[in-house]
Copies of this chain bind each other. A is one copy, B any other.
Amino acid sequence: MQEADSLEDRMLAIGRRARAAAVTLALAPTDQKNAALTAAARIISSKRDDILRENGGDCVKAEKAGVTGAMLDRLKLDAKRLDAIAGALNDVAALPDPVGRRISEWTRPNGLRIERVRIPIGVIAIIFESRPNVTIDAGALCLKSGNVAILRGGSEAFATSRALHRCFVQGLLEAGLPEECVQLVPTTDRDAVGHILSGLDGAIDLIVPRGGKSLVARVAKEARAPVLGHLEGVCHVYVDAEADPEKAVSIVVNAKMRRTGVCGAAETVLIDKNRLKNLWPALGEALREAGCSIRADSAINEIDAATAPVSEEDWRTEYLGAIIAAGAVDGVEGAMTHIARYGTGHTDSIITENPDTARRFLAQVDSAIVMHNASTQFADGGEFGLGAEIGIATGRLHARGPVGLEELTTYKNIVHGDGQIRP
């Protein structure tokens, strides 16, 4: 036995083991997958103290390394958060299994019956940053949809992720599934990400990056396997001249301020210039009352001295904080031109009581999610009723918007014949 295997060799071995486990997992019955998930939930609860101890170690190291408040908060677990992590496993167990579901079925004049049936994608690599719960959430979604998961977490949460992963593995073994169904890359070496992006010699069918701008940029540049990614969420709310003023205020404030750190949070509000004087005062005041600072164009600056001027850069910025960019536009056409120029194809909403104007906006704005009279904060797999999500896809292929269990499957074509040959 070689002890000095290179990182590349070890990563390729992870890929080979994943490929082998995928063959078994693809055919595993729903009950067996659910048994692994609920067992893992039980084991996490019973190992609570061990996991919190490991997490305490991660937190101390992170503080010493100068990790900031929000990031440290994402890293830190307590009994309540750990219960939520275990609960997520039980929630995914309770969701319907997408594997084997028939998408469509038809019969040809020659008697051939054709079915399209959902099957797992195969091996999915998830690259994420500091939140240790992703180890469980992503692993659970992959397992339930019949996909082997290769998880690469942030180095800050390494000990926590390893402790959680051990519980997951024990759950898999209890259920009689290969432990290689959910693998955690056992090193914090940053080069491991490069190996994953190379596709591990064809072993990875899909890469899901969950992280900030620099990770997304690296993935876009280096990935040699398909990526289901999400870019930034520069989400817009457009308040039309025919908006209900109360809905406008409550939706804009919610879209921006309910939680500012989520990708579905609004970053820009656009208002029809023809009703600006009428709509702005209440909106500006409500935003400030909620704690939001406003960077606005000259039309708004002129009527509201409490707004700062907006820059070209602001329109392109995902603040993920209590700042909003605000501008007056020339009706729905002006709003759509602005969104086409600065949007990131994530989520955009129109507030109007005119159904024709809404229809135009919903048809023409080319984003994964378009909304009418609703808060962009609904851009979420749970809120869509998918049960759970691995992320919001902003690309154009395979899946757009919240990616839940069904979006983690592909399909095969099954042709039932009785001796047919092609003339």
Q: Which of A396-423 contact B (CB under 8 A)?
A: 396-398, 400-402, 410-422
Within 8 Å by CB of A371, from B27, B247, B371, B417, lies B417
Residue of B nearest to A253 (CB): B421
Copy count, this protein chain:
2
**Chain B CB within 10 Å, residue with most, of A362, A368, A373, A413:** A413
Known: A27-B363, A413-B370, A415-B370. A254 touches B396 (CB 8 A): no
Known: A121-B396, A363-B27, A397-B398. A374 touches B414 (CB 8 A): no
Please tell me if the beta carbons of B372 and A415 are within 8 angstroms of each other in the complex.
yes
Is A195's CB within 8 Å of the partner chain B?
Answer: no
Known: A108-B385, A250-B419, A421-B250. A413 touches B369 (CB 8 A): yes
Question: Shortest Cβ distance from A381 into chain B, in angstroms?
Answer: 11
Residue of B nearest to A252 (CB): B421
Provide the bound-state CA to CA distance between A383 and B119, in Å.
23
Provide the bound-state CA to CA distance between A40 and B417, in Å.
38
Q: Which residues of B contact A383 (CB under 8 A)?
A: 108, 112, 422
Is A226's CB within 8 Å of the partner chain B?
Answer: yes
Question: Shortest Cβ distance from A102 into chain B, in angstroms?
Answer: 13
Please tell me if the beta carbons of A226 and B395 are within 8 angstroms of each other in the complex.
yes
Q: How large is the interface on A (under 10, 10 to 19, 20 to 34, 35 or more residues)?
A: 35 or more
Is A366's CB within 8 Å of the partner chain B?
Answer: yes
Is A122's CB within 8 Å of the partner chain B?
Answer: yes
Q: Which residues of B contact A181 (CB under 8 A)?
A: none
Q: Which residues of B contact A378 (CB under 8 A)?
A: 112, 415, 417, 420, 422
Q: Which residues of B contact A377 (CB under 8 A)?
A: 421-422
Is A35's CB within 8 Å of the partner chain B?
Answer: no
Please tell me if the beta carbons of B251 and A397 are within 8 angstroms of each other in the complex.
no
Please tell me if the beta carbons of A400 and B410 are within 8 angstroms of each other in the complex.
yes
Please tell me if the beta carbons of B250 and A397 are within 8 angstroms of each other in the complex.
no
Residue of B nearest to A258 (CB): B422
Known: A121-B397, A122-B396, A369-B415. A420 touches B226 (CB 8 A): no
Please tell me if the beta carbons of B373 and A419 are within 8 angstroms of each other in the complex.
yes
Is A175's CB within 8 Å of the partner chain B?
Answer: no
Q: Which residues of B contact A415 (CB under 8 A)?
A: 349, 369-372, 374, 378
Residue of B nearest to A351 (CB): B419
Q: Which of A199-255 contact B (CB under 8 A)?
A: 205-206, 226, 228, 244, 246-247, 250-251, 254-255
Please tell me if the beta carbons of A368 and B250 are within 8 angstroms of each other in the complex.
no
Is A269's CB within 8 Å of the partner chain B?
Answer: no
Provide 7 A-B residue pairs closer than 8 Å at the C-beta atoms, listed in order of the A residue.
A27-B363, A108-B383, A121-B396, A246-B419, A250-B421, A371-B416, A400-B410
Q: Name the 7 nearest CB pairs between A and B, nearest first.
A: A374-B417, A254-B421, A247-B419, A377-B422, A371-B415, A401-B413, A373-B417
